[in-house]
A and B are shown apart, each in its own frame.
Chain A
Amino acid sequence: MTDLVEQDVAAVTPSPSPSSSPAKSRLRSEAFARRLRARHAAERRFRLAGAAAVALAALILVLLLGSIVAKGASAFLETRIRLEVTLDPAEVADRNYTALLRRALYAQFPQVTDRAGRRVLNDLLSSGAPYELEAMVARDPALVGTTRTVWVRADDQIDQLVKGGYRRDLPESERGLSDAKVAATDALLASGALAQGFNTTLFTAGDSREPEQAGIGGAIVGSLLTLLVTMALSVPVGISAAVYLEEFAPKNRWTDLIEVNINNLAAVPSIIFGLLGLAVFLGFFGMPRSAPLVGGLVMALMTLPVIIIASRVALKAVPPSIREAALGIGASPLQTVLHHVLPLAMPGILTGTIIGMARALGETAPLLMIGMVAFIVDIPHGLTDSATVLPVQIYMWADSPERAFTERTSAAILILLGVLILLNGAAVILRKIFERRW
């Protein structure tokens, strides 16, 4: 290597611009200092306004939750009466459990012998109490012929009286509860024959005309079945649609039209979906009324646009460089999506899905249209059984005049809120898990 030819090929160095002194002095002038103070003040005002807005929102939330908890907390307790029941084989054979219970109750009030007094005593017991006793005997037939201490549900008026729902200082006519019942309740309380325990009925029972026998068990199962149908339908369809539109479909007038329509669909009032369900699923396909299957289908139609939009946003957020990287080493477009893009978009898709599900869980209007607003005592066992859902149950109870139903309405709202919070918590946890994988 001789005769080296050397050549400078890059000699471009930008000349540094000299700092101008007039600008410097302007930065130190009094006017500038004033403007600076004004800027800081503006920033402080803005922060204050922001903090105030947050505080207001927090206050409203606390008020809302506070009032619901105050009204609903007592519904998680129920009042029971202690009775010494002698399970007379003859009466058991006749399934006359009411008589057995009443006999035991009369024994605690030996001084009451007249018909009117006994009727007051009869009303202390829940009309569901004989069934409780029957179930007890069915579980353990050896009980027949013995005398046992049992705790059976009290009537809802007694329950409310014990919980302080009636004002004792009011005269009988304004109180809504007779003096005789108050006296009898007080007597039971004094003898320790009345006690409060956790209200399992609220969670296990279906709806009932008697508040003390009513529960949201049926509504919860109905909600679960409905959500199951919704999820099974809207999640795969929604994600597939989003992936197709975002990753594969050509961008032309048709896909633009579809996009606009999906966005519009997301803004359609939910009751319209109910009308559609009524006309199409019930009217045309002849599906059963009040069924979780139909409810789920309607909800799926409603949540589909939400899921598609959220999924598309999540897919859009995946950097194009990831797609290029995969395509660049010879992954097919489908492999690129399944192996790289979709996993990266999953947290966003999940969040969208759970928000959609939460919306479906809290929705009432479309279900009213397809008859899921019926009074249903039995707990549904399948997708075509008559059922109601949690928010509809709340809506129906809120209509009932009994004090005990008001309390249960709030309790059911608390439970619904709890489930929604759990769902959102699950969304956060799932996101964390997915994010940790990378």
Chain B
Amino acid sequence: MSIKSGIPGQLKLRPRADRQTDRAAAAALPAKMTARGVKVFYGAKQALKGIDLDIQENRVLALIGPSGCGKSTFLRCLNRMNDTIEGCRVEGRIALDGEDVYGKAVDAVQLRARVGMVFQKPNPFPKSIYDNVAYGPRIHGLASGRDELDEVVQTSLKRAGLWAEVKDRLREPGTSLSGGQQQRLCIARAIAVSPEVILMDEPCSALDPIATAHIEELIDELRANYTIVIVTHNMQQAARVSQRTAFFHLGEMVECDDTEEIFTNPRDERTQGYITGRYG
């Protein structure tokens, strides 16, 4: 996929019949992660009111919806980042490969290595570019020896589409990169520990259009090896990068379907209202 020409305002879709067959096929795809009746409370305040959602393997799921509807909250349930928030309580069941991630057998630290995360604001460590990428493999003992670590760093940076730009300056601080490069560095850092799922919370909202196009292209390539969930406020972005889209509204998941379907044929009028820009 090349960088989309111009500012993409339009969505290209395929014939309805094709889409219907795809839909049937898609529904049959195995789910990498499943959420059933997920409720989240911040103290007394309920942020999610029972979410049921399947996240299919090697596909990109986009979460859309107005601000404060609980997209980030849901995303942070998937790798238990909510554990770090004081007063946050999660109910319901979230499974990774059929195993309850909130179960006793699962360690949050290990889970977060399997389910990586990229944040809204690029947050590289104030260390060198190399150390940023090498940190995960180091703490998880994924590389034995210097050469292997170099190898991991290089492949991760290549996958993140950053290698060509930084290969001569691996010792420079990660914070010296531009915003878009920093975000790709964060993606490289996340994939360096070979996660199975990558969660992205509005990864492009702090970036300019060109950097955004870079990241979108990257997401499409990463889909081959990883399962990706992306939160976005940008409808075109959801349409461009995702195969499935879930629309959240006031703590509920209103509908989840193939992206093309959501954008052309939303079942719920709230979805329709949101994607046509009536509110949001």
Give the shortest distance, in Å, between A112 (CB) and chain B (any CB).
78
Q: Is the CB of B123 within 8 A of A324?
A: yes
Q: Mark A39-59, 1 if CB is under 8 A from B, else 0.
A: 000000000000000000000
- Other-chain residue from A10, A321, A330, A340 in contact with B121 (beta carbon distance below 8 A): A321
For A36, what are the chain B residues with a Cβ–Cβ distance below 8 Å? none
User: Smallest CB–CB gap between A66 and chain B, Å?
Assistant: 44
Residue of A326, A335, A438 touching B175 (CB-CB under 8 A) = A438
Answer yes or no: B9 CB below 8 A from chain A CBs: yes
Cβ of A257 within 8 Å of any chain B Cβ, yes or no, is: no
Known: A330-B109, A330-B110, A335-B139. 9 other contacts (CB 8 A): A9-B263, A10-B235, A250-B86, A322-B125, A325-B123, A325-B125, A328-B190, A329-B136, A331-B135
User: In chain B, residues 102-150, which have Cβ atoms closer than 8 Å to a Cβ of chain A?
Assistant: 109-113, 116-117, 119, 121, 123-127, 135-136, 139-140
Which of B79, B123, B173, B192 has the most C-beta atoms of chain A within 10 angstroms of its own C-beta? Answer: B123
Residue A332 lies at the interface, judged by CB distance under 8 Å to chain B: yes
- A residues contacting the other copy or chain, number (CB 8 A): 33
Q: Mark A1-37, 1 if CB is under 8 A from B, else 0.
A: 1111111111110000000000000000000000000
- Can you list 11 contacts pairing A with B, beta carbon distance less than 8 Å? A4-B13, A7-B264, A10-B9, A12-B277, A324-B119, A325-B125, A326-B125, A328-B112, A329-B193, A330-B112, A339-B135
B45 close to chain A: CB less than 8 A: no
Which residues of A are in contact with B by a Cβ distance under 8 Å?
A: 1-12, 250-251, 319, 321-333, 335, 339-340, 344, 438
Contact B190 A329 (CB under 8 A): yes
Cβ A438 vs Cβ B127 within 8 A = yes
Question: What are the residues of chain B within 8 A of A335 when measuring CB–CB?
Answer: 139
Q: B137 to nearest A CB, angstroms?
A: 9
Given A9-B239, A321-B121, A322-B123, A327-B15 contact (CB < 8 Å)? no
Instruction: Please state if A330 and B84 are interface contacts (CB–CB under 8 Å).
Output: no
In this complex, how many residues of chain B approach chain A with their Cβ under 8 Å: the count is: 44
A390–B111 Cα distance when bound, in Å, is: 57
Q: Is the CB of A330 within 8 A of B86?
A: no
Task: Kindly state the separation between the CA atoms of A8 and B121 in the bound complex, as whole angstroms.
Answer: 28
Q: How far is the CB of B124 from chain A (nearest CB, A)?
A: 7
Q: Is B112's CB under 8 angstroms from A324's CB?
A: no
A328 CA / B119 CA spacing, docked (Å) = 9
Chain A residues contacting B81 (CB-CB under 8 Å) are: 324, 327-328
Whether the Cβ atoms of A8 and B109 lie closer than 8 Å is: no
- Shortest CB–CB separation between residue B184 and chain A, in angstroms? 14
A5: chain B residues within 8 A (beta carbon): 12-13, 264
Do A323 and B84 form a contact, CB below 8 Å, given A6-B11, A10-B277, A329-B190?
A: yes
A132 to B5, CA, bound (A): 93
Known: A324-B123, A331-B109. A1 touches B139 (CB 8 A): no
Contact A438–B263 (Cβ < 8 Å)? no
- Measured between beta carbons, the chain B residues less than 8 angstroms from A251 are 86
Q: Name the CB-closest residue of A to B264.
A: A5
Query: How many residue pairs, one in A and one in B, have C-beta atoms under 8 Å apart?
Result: 103
Interface hits, B186-228 → A, CB 8 Å: 186, 189-190, 192-193
Shortest beta-carbon distance from A314 to chain B in Å: 15
Q: Which chain A residue lies CB-closest to B113? A: A330
Report Cα–Cα, A4/B127, bound state, in Å: 48
User: Is there contact, CB below 8 Å, between A9 and B235?
Assistant: yes
Tell whether, in the assembled complex, residue B117 and residue A328 are in contact, meaning their CB atoms are under 8 Å apart. Answer: yes
B236 touches A10 (CB 8 A): yes
Q: Report if B229 contacts A (CB, 8 A).
A: no
Contact of A8 among B9, B84, B111 (CB under 8 A): B9
- Quick one: CB contact mask for B83-112 with A, threshold 8 Å, 1 for yes? 010100000000000000000000001111
Residue B20 at the chain A interface, CB threshold 8 Å: no
Residues of A within 8 A of B276 (CB): 9
Query: Are B113's CB and A329's CB within 8 A?
Result: yes
Query: Smallest CB-CB separation from B186: which chain A residue?
Result: A325
Bound-state CA distance A343–B140 (Å) is 20
Is B152 interfacial (CB-CB < 8 Å)? no
Rounded to whole angstroms, the CA-CA distance of A425 and B159 in the bound complex is 46
CA distance A324 to B83 in the complex (A): 11
| Pairs of residues from A and B, 7 with the lowest C-beta to C-beta distance, nearest first | A330-B113, A438-B126, A321-B123, A328-B117, A330-B112, A329-B136, A325-B123
A52 to chain B, nearest CB (A): 40
Shortest CB-to-CB span from A3 to chain B, Å, is 5
Residue numbers in B under 8 Å from A329 (CB-CB)? 112-113, 116-117, 135-136, 139, 189-190, 192-193
Please pick, from A11, A327, A331, A438, the residue contacting B277 in the complex, using a CB distance under 8 A. A11
Q: Once the chains are docked, how many angstroms separate the CA of A420 from the CA of B110?
A: 48
- CB closest chain-A residue, reference B234: A10
**Residue in A12, A328, A331 whose CB lies within 8 Å of B79:** A328
Query: Residue B275 at the A interface, CB < 8 A?
Result: yes
Cα A24 to Cα B13 in complex, Å, equals 50
Contact of B11 among A1, A7, A250, A319 (CB under 8 A): A7
Least Cβ distance of B241 to chain A in Å? 14
- Residues of the B chain whose Cβ atoms lie less than 8 Å from the Cβ of A11: 9, 277
Given A10-B235, A328-B190, A331-B109, check contact A4 B12 (CB 8 Å).
yes
Closest to B275 in A: A9
Cα A1 to Cα B18 with chains together (Å)? 10
Least Cβ–Cβ distance between A395 and chain B, in angstroms: 46
User: Does B119 contact A6, Cβ atoms closer than 8 Å?
Assistant: no
Which residues of B are found within 8 Å of A321, using beta-carbon distances? 119, 121, 123
- With A9-B263, A324-B119, A328-B112 known to touch, is A344 a contact of B126 (CB < 8 Å)? yes
B10 at the interface (CB under 8 A from A): yes
Interface centre among B11, B121, B264 (most CB of A within 10 A): B11
Q: Given that A322-B123, A328-B112, A330-B113 are known contacts, is A9 also in contact with B193, CB under 8 Å in the complex?
A: no
* B110: nearest chain-A partner, CB-CB: A330
User: Residues of B contacting A327 with CB < 8 Å?
Assistant: 81, 84, 112
Contact, CB under 8 Å: B236 / A9: yes
Across the interface, which residues of B come within 8 angstroms of A12, CB to CB? 277
Q: What is the CB-to-nearest-CB distance from B50 to chain A, in angstroms, rounded to a whole number? A: 26
Question: B121 — which chain A residues lie within 8 A by C-beta?
Answer: 321
Identify which of A324, A329, A344 gathers the most chain B CB atoms within 10 Å of its CB: A329
Chain A residue at minimum C-beta to C-beta distance from B191: A329
Contact, CB under 8 Å: A340 / B11? no
Chain B residues in 8 Å Cβ range of A325: 119, 123-125, 186, 189
**Bound-complex Cα distance A326 to B125 (A):** 8
CB neighbours (8 Å) of B124 from chain A are: 325
Residues of chain A within 8 A of B10, CB atoms compared: 6-8
Q: What is the distance, in angstroms, from B99's C-beta to the closest C-beta of chain A?
A: 17
